[in-house]
Structure 1
């Protein structure tokens, strides 16, 4: 059974080297605690820098250990850098990342499939970089946040990027990002435990209620972390659409758009994953791990254990859907 992990992350060695030298972009620096390197953001967030983020041999060995045939690789979302004030610096950073990731993938024998990062501060630059990444670097799509700082995905500054992805026929992975504090979620790591699924849900809701999915019928979108709360609270969105004037910006009730998205498997339990498949269909669920972050999921067999899905659905989720979604060659 082919396994394609659509949710795992990369960090360019050039960025890590700058942080190690104390001269990282946006104040990034590396600290070592008990022999473990940590990337430290000036906003307060820190995360362990595992060799698999930047070392190809370590990455391929980890894929073998997890029985992963192919990995669709995206930038660590903590490095999206949408908050940089200088749009030219953001554009330069995106080009550096995309070229580094394309080169990283080129040495993998086809086992790593790269998707781009985009300088979303500058709409024109983001559109141009998406086009370059796909047509010149051979990337299979892009990863963007479910918001662009304070702007929702239905904002007029974001829509041209979505339209270009639809025109190019490539999917966009929507991944939450956060390097500072989230009000009310400061303790217990709730900034991630609750904040990340919440951001995915809000991003999807903006796309639905803002009419973006009506405007761009060919747009393909992948929601991380099981789609956040969207599949599980869709009835509430439907009710709001019926009774609230503010929620009538879409042509159909929100549940009609559930299958406009693909959803990764990271739910951390079989019951919600089985429910997700029942809501959206096995053909809209793709295997993901969030590797090498500690909030990730395990190998595909481990994630599907207890879901009671049949072999056909398991094969779709493990890799078949991703082959179709990202236009991969079947192995």
Structure 2
């Protein structure tokens, strides 16, 4: 519960995993896995407590190494499910990864994610995955996810061609009856404007607030398209890369939106999206 507002806050966008691979650091600078894992969880919860975050959805980092191909992806999904299971009161849901370059074999991983692993969705971050968001296999997986009850989670850093927001719109148009969660769309000024267009055009898209530099832009979109289209997210990575909660939460709670809208965006929408509360 946020101490200032009394609003329960759910963060839809936490990445878990050693960030050295994503940062391109040499192996000798990577931490010891076991020691790091124990410290990382403690630090993450400290950061959440200090920032007024009650719960979060966890997603593996997409910069993991894959010398063993599909088996490495399966191991990443196993680990994120275990992370959720270890502290379910703070991390009640986990989102996995599926790799488009694995082609048809990843369809089985979607079934495993929806079944034994109990994941709520699968994440695409194509700038790390060697394909573009309009890739055939991304589209194929999203269709299969709809049948399995998995939420497509799409990273959309518009500054990189692989994740251009127009490709998010293309994906949304191909699956108009399937809700999708768009992450990082508000990370640039042009992306912010484009997200407003996407929200107006594709009612099946829900947007997080991560990487936005000013909530005022998002507040305008909330007034135009409805609070139900927006959720709170931070893109918090594993410590020490992430050390504090984004300033956006404070701006959301201090905005002139209605209390009902603030409650919805801060946490209620996310809990409905992930099936934690009835819609």
TM-score range normalised by the length of the shorter chain? 0.7 to 0.9
Instruction: Please give the residue correspondences for 1:59-70 in structure 2 after superposition, counting only pairs within 5 Å.
Output: 59-70=44-55
How far does residue 230 in structure 1 lie from its aligned partner after superposition?
Answer: 4.5
Q: For the residues of structure 2 that align with 1:53 and 1:283, how far apart are their CA atoms?
A: 36
Q: For the residues of structure 2 that align with 1:221 and 1:200, how far apart are their CA atoms?
A: 20
How far does residue 265 in structure 1 lie from its aligned partner after superposition?
Answer: 1.5
Partner of 1:73: 58
Unpaired runs of 5+ residues, structure 2, are 1-6
Partner of 2:179: 220
Q: For the residues of structure 1 that align with 2:16 and 2:199, how far apart are their CA atoms?
A: 33
How far does residue 67 in structure 1 lie from its aligned partner after superposition?
Answer: 2.1
Secondary structure (helix, strand or coil) at the match of 1:72 reads: strand
Q: For the residues of structure 1 that align with 2:103 and 2:141, how far apart are their CA atoms?
A: 7
How far does residue 136 in structure 1 lie from its aligned partner after superposition?
Answer: 0.9
Instruction: Please give the residue correspondences for 1:1-331 in structure 2 after superposition, counting only pairs within 5 Å.
Output: 1-11=7-17, 29-31=27-29, 55-79=40-64, 89-112=68-91, 113-146=93-126, 149=129, 151-175=131-155, 196-199=157-160, 202-208=163-169, 210=170, 212-228=171-187, 229-233=190-194, 256-266=200-210, 267-292=212-237, 293-294=241-242, 297-298=245-246, 301-329=249-277
Secondary structure (helix, strand or coil) at the match of 1:78 reads: coil
What is the TM-score with the length of structure 2 in the denominator? 0.78
Please provide the CA RMSD for this pair.
3.5
How far does residue 90 in structure 1 lie from its aligned partner after superposition?
Answer: 2.5
How far does residue 7 in structure 1 lie from its aligned partner after superposition?
Answer: 0.8
Q: For the residues of structure 1 that align with 2:276 and 2:134, how far apart are their CA atoms?
A: 29
Does structure 2 conserve the Cα–Cα contact (< 8 Å) formed by 1:3 and 1:67?
A: yes
Secondary structure (helix, strand or coil) at the match of 2:159 reads: helix
What is the TM-score with the length of structure 1 in the denominator? 0.67
Secondary structure (helix, strand or coil) at the match of 2:167 reads: helix
Does structure 1 conserve the Cα–Cα contact (< 8 Å) formed by 2:8 and 2:54?
A: yes
Larger Rg: 1
Q: For the residues of structure 1 that align with 2:195 and 2:49, how far apart are their CA atoms?
A: 37
Q: For the residues of structure 1 that align with 2:202 and 2:159, how far apart are their CA atoms?
A: 16
Q: For the residues of structure 2 that align with 1:54 and 1:98, how far apart are their CA atoms?
A: 20
How far does residue 279 in structure 1 lie from its aligned partner after superposition?
Answer: 4.1
Q: For the residues of structure 2 that align with 1:93 and 1:201, how far apart are their CA atoms?
A: 23
How big is each residue's C-alpha offset from its partner over 1:155-197, in whole Å with a ceiling of 9 and x where there is no partner?
3232211111111222222225xxxxxxxxxxxxxxxxxxx34
Q: For the residues of structure 1 that align with 2:58 and 2:82, how far apart are their CA atoms?
A: 12
Does structure 2 conserve the Cα–Cα contact (< 8 Å) formed by 1:52 and 1:58?
A: no
Q: For the residues of structure 2 that align with 1:295 and 1:111, how far apart are their CA atoms?
A: 17
The aligned length equals 262
Does structure 2 conserve the Cα–Cα contact (< 8 Å) formed by 1:11 and 1:53?
A: no
Unpaired runs of 5+ residues, structure 1, are 20-25, 40-49, 177-195, 238-253
Q: For the residues of structure 2 that align with 1:255 and 1:329, how far apart are their CA atoms?
A: 24
